Amino acid sequence: MPAAQTEKIIPVLTIDGPSGSGKGTISSRVADALGWHLLDSGALYRAVGFAASMAGLDLSDAEAVTRCAETTKISFRDPKDGGETRVIVNGVDATAEIRTETCGAAASAIAAIPSVRTALFDKQRSFRKAPGLVADGRDMGTVIFADAGHKVFLTASAEERAKRRYKQLKEKGLGVTLTTLLREIEARDVRDAERAVAPLKPATDAILIDSTGMSIDAVVAKVLALVRP
């Protein structure tokens, strides 16, 4: 069977949405429940942002950042203790660094560069493997896996997302303020929605889920109900 045809029969569930909507947690839980592979596309962009920062690159220099995206070696390592999946960037464990707000802002900035998105397109597509894939990101259902059989657009109010992020960062011992996080999330929402290439928006055939006020378990159950017969 041709590779392209084989690829099409591998099911994909895309979970897109804005920063702080809970995509990562929900995608991970759903992937575990289904026994499918997981793609954290945001981690790829954050990894490139981390590599670019380490190299001292100007993030507005599209040519330099694109070269960085093309040459940066990114891999995911399953944790031995059942904890967080490790993200290895050019041989360095950058798991903690790429989750900072600074790295998130860098990822959002470089994601607006068309040539960077092109450089990471095939890398993201390569995660589609049997028995299936849960793809978490911002353009999974609209661009990367537009042919996916199951699509979800997960959102929540900006205030709710800021509170969730505040709790996560405080638990990691990082000094942040709720007001600053809310301002950063609102600014990122605008930037992601207005970028010229692959702007953040629901796929026309995506199911919208507003998780404001919902528990993680309730959201996971709702997503699983869309996939399982």
Tens of pLDDT along 21-36? 999 899 999 999 999 9
* pLDDT bucket at 108, cuts 50 / 70 / 90: confident
Asked if residue 2 has pLDDT above 80, the reply is no
Peptide bond into 199 cis (omega under 30): no
- Residue 77: count other Cβ atoms within 10 Å of its Cβ: 11
Task: Grade residue 81 by pLDDT with cuts at 50, 70 and 90.
Answer: low
Give me the pLDDT at residue 8, please.
63
Name the token pair of 225.
């109900």
Model pLDDT, residue 1: 38
Q: What is the CATH classification number for the domain harbouring 214?
A: 3.40.50.300
pTM of the complete model: 0.82
Range of the domain at 62: 3-227
Query: How far apart are the C-alpha atoms of 88 and 47, rounded to whole Å?
Result: 8
Give percent of the chain above pLDDT 70. 94
Tens-place pLDDT, residues 49-61: 999 999 999 999 9
pLDDT at residue 82 is higher than 80: no
pLDDT > 80? residue 7 = no
Question: Is the pLDDT assigned to residue 99 strictly greater than 50?
Answer: yes
Using one digit for the tens of pLDDT, what is the confidence trace for 119-165? Answer: 999 889 999 999 999 999 999 999 999 999 999 999 999 999 999 88
The DSSP 8-state label assigned to residue 11 in this structure reads -
Domain count, the chain: 1
pLDDT at 193: 85
> Please, what is the angle between helix 41-54 and helix 62-71, to 10°?
110
Q: Which residue has the higher pLDDT, 198 or 227?
A: 227
Token look-up 């670019």 returns 52
In 85-196, which ranges are continuous DSSP H helix? Answer: 101-111, 114-125, 158-171, 178-194
